[in-house]
Amino acid sequence: MTNRQAVPVTIIGGYLGAGKTTLINELLNGEHGRRITIVVNDFGAINVDAQLIASRDGDTVSLTNGCICCSVAGDLTTELRKLSRADPPPEQIMVEASGVADPAKVANAVRGWSSMQLHQTVTLFDPLSIRDLCNDKFAASTVKRQLRHARLLLVAKLDVVSGEQLTSILGWLAQVVPGAAQRVGPLRRSEQIELLLDLSTTAPILSSDESAIQLSASHSSTAFASLTWSPAGPLNEGNLRDLFFELGNRLQRCKGWVNLDRAMRPSVLVQHGAAGTEITDVESMPVEQPVLVLIYAIGQCSETKLKSQLDACLSV
């Protein structure tokens, strides 16, 4: 078999009680016609309509609608590689991250393998408990990290939260997690499912060849310019993320390698695209000097202003 398509992988994270299991049950029982393999934390909590079960083998259940649900005994990377190389391969893989996991870290299990392509990272959250969780002395840093490190945020428990509550919570969220508001997905479960199954959006993972940066079709009528910026020193991660979110879709793309202002593993790969910002640790940079390449909408940003905004991200 030559040149199989890489299977798109979506990481679904979110704290305990966010509603991941409910969402996964809907995906498994749904009539979307997509052959999804879903890797879950706890097999026992999964509730599949008995009529849909085609076969069962230990910790793997195959459904008549072509979906497969399994849990991982050992190492996620090995499991995913096996699943992505199945014959026939699934059309999509979804991974339920553990309640305390960082979706960006789980995503690392997917990267770098030709049989898989990281498509999306999602954090699901319960709007009625999220505020308390972000103030909980034990859970706060974990939950905030989950909200910061996923490209897409989905609101759960939509059937029990009122429109007013939702507005207030989303307003609060925008303050606590900069840029979060731009990453919140649709507020209807059916549309959320549609979005999770939507494989047509351009993946923000860029190829290692910088010149092959792809521009989204929907923006083809806008004129873009590119700016190459070399930081004079280490950057503050928080300020950089804040800047990207403030720029929103005036900044089309950004990719590069920089050093952050920390002692351990300072080198990172920065990738920013339509669905969010990703900053990944790397052992070493493939470029001689730290550099960021930005693609921005002409008329909505000025090169000079961008440069000074970037300079403001340097660590003092």
Partner 1 sequence: MSEITVYIARQIRTMNPSLPVASAVAVRDDLIIEVGSLETMAPWLAAHPHQIDERFKDHVLMPGFIDPHLHPSLAAMLLPLHFITAMEWKLPDRTARAVKGHDEYLAAVKEIDASLVEPGEPLITWGYHKIWHGEVNRTVLNQLSETRPIIVWQRSFHEVIANDAAIDWMGLERAELEKHPQVNLQTGAFYESGLSVAMAGMNKYLLNPAQFRHGLELTKQSIRRGGHTTIADLAMPLADMDREWPVLLEVLDTDDTPFRVQYVPRGALRGLAPGADQDELDRVASMKQYNTHRLAFQNGVKLFADGGFFAELMQLQAPGFIDGHEGEWMVPPETFKKLARLYWHAGYRIHAHCTGDLGLELALDTLEELQFERPRVNHRFTIEHFGVSTPEQVRRIADLGAIVSANVYYLHELGDAYWQHSIGYERASQMARLGTLARHNVTFALHTDFTMAPALPLNSAWVAVNRISESGKVLAPEERITIEQAMRAITIDAAYVLGMEHSIGSIRAGKKADFTVLEADPFETAPEDLKDIPIWGTVFEGRPFPLEQSAADSLK
Q: How far is the CB of 288 from partner 1 (least distance, A)?
A: 14
Whichever of 29 and 142 has its CB closer to partner 1, that residue is 142
Number of residues that bind partner 1 (CB under 8 A): 39
Cα–Cα distance between 1 and 289 in angstroms, integer?
40
Cα–Cα distance between 228 and 231 in angstroms, integer?
10
Q: How far is the CB of 248 from partner 1 (least distance, A)?
A: 26
Residues with Cβ within 8 Å of 41's Cβ and at least 6 positions away in sequence, in order, are: 71, 96, 97, 98, 99
| Residue from the set 280, 300, 309, 315 that interacts with partner 1 by CB under 8 A | 280
Q: How far is the CB of 316 from partner 1 (least distance, A)?
A: 15
Whichever of 113 and 224 has its CB closer to partner 1, that residue is 113
Q: What is the pattern of x (binds partner 1, CB under 8 A) and - over residues 174-213?
A: ----------------------------------x-----
Q: Scan residues 99-158 and list those touching partner 1 (CB under 8 A).
A: 99-100, 105, 108-109, 111-114, 136-139, 141-142, 145
E strands, 111-260, in order: 116-125, 152-155, 224-229, 251-259
What is the bridge-based pairing of β-strands 267-273 and 251-259? antiparallel
**Residue 297 touches partner 1, criterion: CB under 8 A:** no
Q: How far is the CB of 77 from partner 1 (least distance, A)?
A: 5
Q: How far is the CB of 29 from partner 1 (least distance, A)?
A: 18
| Residue from the set 281, 291, 300, 315 that interacts with partner 1 by CB under 8 A | 281
Token representation of residue 122: 């999602």
**Residue 223 touches partner 1, criterion: CB under 8 A:** no
**Residue 98 touches partner 1, criterion: CB under 8 A:** yes
| Residue from the set 15, 125, 229, 244 that interacts with partner 1 by CB under 8 A | 15
User: Are residues 71 and 39 in contact, defined by beta-carbon separation less than 8 angstroms?
Assistant: yes
Cα–Cα distance between 75 and 140 in angstroms, integer?
27
The window from 151-159, 210-218, 281-289, 294-302 that contacts partner 1 (CB under 8 A) reads 281-289
Whichever of 26 and 136 has its CB closer to partner 1, that residue is 136
Cα–Cα distance between 94 and 75 in angstroms, integer?
16
Q: Scan residues 30-89 and list those touching partner 1 (CB under 8 A).
A: 41-42, 44-45, 71, 75-78
Whichever of 61 and 196 has its CB closer to partner 1, that residue is 61
Binding site for partner 1 (CB under 8 A): 15-17, 41-42, 44-45, 71, 75-78, 98-100, 105, 108-109, 111-114, 136-139, 141-142, 145, 208, 262-264, 269, 280-284
